[in-house]
């Protein structure tokens, strides 16, 4: 399994590759525009082409994922917001595809209490139309659109694998659609994978609903909030409510090892660091050892000191 991290693309896209390499990442995730502004990606064609070439030639980082703008809400009742969201998603898909990204991760949005059934049609229309429009602008098939599971706050769409599957089914099983599994969101939505049996059931549910072939990447995060808290609050690995052992139970599952695990942790305040990547690799190794019946399967790893004020030691 490749281990990666979300890194800043400030100052230009190409330097993001070296930022990832500097912390030991195999893959990176970036924003192609401000995550909290509607302003369209403003990268000229030569910059997009330069990134694509630099990515193809990079010695360390061999894949890029993009995260769509947080403002997108495909379940919005407001017609203007819905239209802006659809347009923004097309722009994100076009920019990501132009740099050779492996996928665009999307928070679907919130129906604000209306219920999934009430918005399923408009969400379906939005994702299919965005992929079609991006393909027309690019003259080729865009990168995959990866719907991310939500933590379950308010009326967020995608709070379960069943909801993500409903969107894909409504879109006719469009092969251009996939999913991103966020470990913190999964925990906050009430899914307990803190044992090998729990992790097995989680992966089995993903396979039964969405299909493992649609899993495009994993967001590897610990949680500031407890199981079932329904809040999106990331924490450094081993310093939160999930802990290293639970993350190892899931990360070591043999059916998900083909996709990269991308850190979106706070680090020291500026995002993932080299030591966060190291912790992720240790968690993966522990998970693989558990699955192989090694020492990690018999007892949890010892607690490690919190790396910053207020953090928690690892726990199952």
The answer as to whether 305 is a domain residue is: no
304 assigned to some structural domain: no
Statement: residue 301 has pLDDT above 90: no
Report the CATH number at residue 283.
Answer: 3.20.20.150
In a domain, 31, yes or no: yes
Neighbours of 305 (CB within 10 A): 9
Query: Does residue 289 sit within a domain?
Result: yes
Determine contact, residues 219/254, Cβ cutoff 8 Å: no
Q: What pLDDT does residue 38 have?
A: 83
- Residue 310: helix, strand or coil by DSSP? coil
In the predicted model, what is the mean pLDDT of the chain?
92
pLDDT digits (tens, 9 = 90+) for 90-123: 999 999 999 999 999 999 999 999 999 999 999 9
Domain with 150 in it: 3-298
Residues 152-170, mean pLDDT to the nearest whole number: 96
pLDDT reported for residue 303:
41
Residue 311 has pLDDT above 60, yes or no: no
DSSP-based three-state secondary structure for 18: helix
Q: What's the whole-model pTM score? A: 0.92
**Residues above pLDDT 70, as percent of the chain:** 93
Percent of the chain exceeding pLDDT 90 equals 87
Q: Furthest-apart CA pair in the chain: how many Å? A: 56
Number of compact structural domains in the chain? 1
Supply the angle between the helices 161-170 and 116-138 in degrees, to the nearest 10.
Answer: 60
Q: Is residue 217 part of a domain?
A: yes
At residue 296, the pLDDT reads: 52
Grade residue 295 by pLDDT with cuts at 50, 70 and 90: low
- When pLDDT is averaged across residues 124-132 and rounded to a whole number, the result is 98
Closest CA to 59 of 28, 30, 21: 21
271-285 average pLDDT score: 98
241 pLDDT higher than 50: yes
Domain for residue 316, yes or no?
Answer: no
310 lies in some domain: no
Task: Specify if 315 maps to a domain.
Answer: no
For position 197, what pLDDT does the model report? 97
Which tens digits make up the pLDDT trace of 26-74? 999 999 888 878 887 778 899 999 999 999 999 999 999 999 999 999 9
């Amino acid at each position: 399994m490749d281990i990666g991290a979300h890194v800043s693309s400030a100052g230009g896209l190409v330097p993001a590759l070296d930022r990832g390499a500097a912390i030991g990442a195999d893959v990176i995730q970036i924003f192609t525009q401000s995550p909290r502004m509607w302003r369209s990606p403003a990268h000229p064609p030569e910059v997009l082409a330069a990134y694509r070439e630099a990515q193809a030639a990079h010695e360390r980082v061999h894949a890029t994922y993009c995260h769509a703008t947080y403002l997108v809400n495909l379940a919005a009742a407001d017609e203007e917001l819905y239209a802006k969201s659809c347009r923004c998603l097309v722009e994100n898909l076009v920019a990501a595809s132009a740099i050779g990204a492996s996928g665009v991760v999307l928070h679907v949005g919130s129906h604000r209490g209306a219920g999934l059934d009430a918005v399923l049609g408009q969400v379906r229309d939005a994702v299919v139309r965005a992929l079609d429009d991006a393909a027309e602008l690019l003259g080729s098939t865009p990168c995959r659109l990866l719907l991310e599971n939500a933590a379950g706050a308010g009326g967020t769409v995608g709070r379960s694998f069943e909801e993500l599957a409903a969107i894909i089914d409504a879109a006719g099983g469009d092969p251009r659609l996939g999913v991103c599994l966020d470990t913190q969101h999964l925990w906050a939505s009430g899914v307990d994978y803190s044992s090998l049996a729990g992790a097995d059931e989680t992966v089995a549910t993903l396979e039964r609903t969405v299909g493992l072939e649609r899993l495009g990447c994993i967001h590897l995060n610990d949680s500031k909030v407890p199981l079932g808290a329904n809040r999106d609050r990331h924490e450094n690995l081993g310093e939160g409510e999930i802990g290293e052992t639970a993350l190892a139970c899931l990360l070591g599952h043999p059916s998900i090892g083909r996709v990269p695990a991308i850190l979106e942790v706070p680090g020291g305040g500026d995002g993932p660091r080299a030591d966060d990547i190291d912790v992720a690799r240790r968690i993966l190794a522990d998970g693989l050892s558990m699955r192989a019946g090694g020492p990690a399967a018999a007892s949890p790893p010892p607690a490690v000191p919190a790396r910053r004020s207020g953090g928690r030691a690892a726990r199952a």
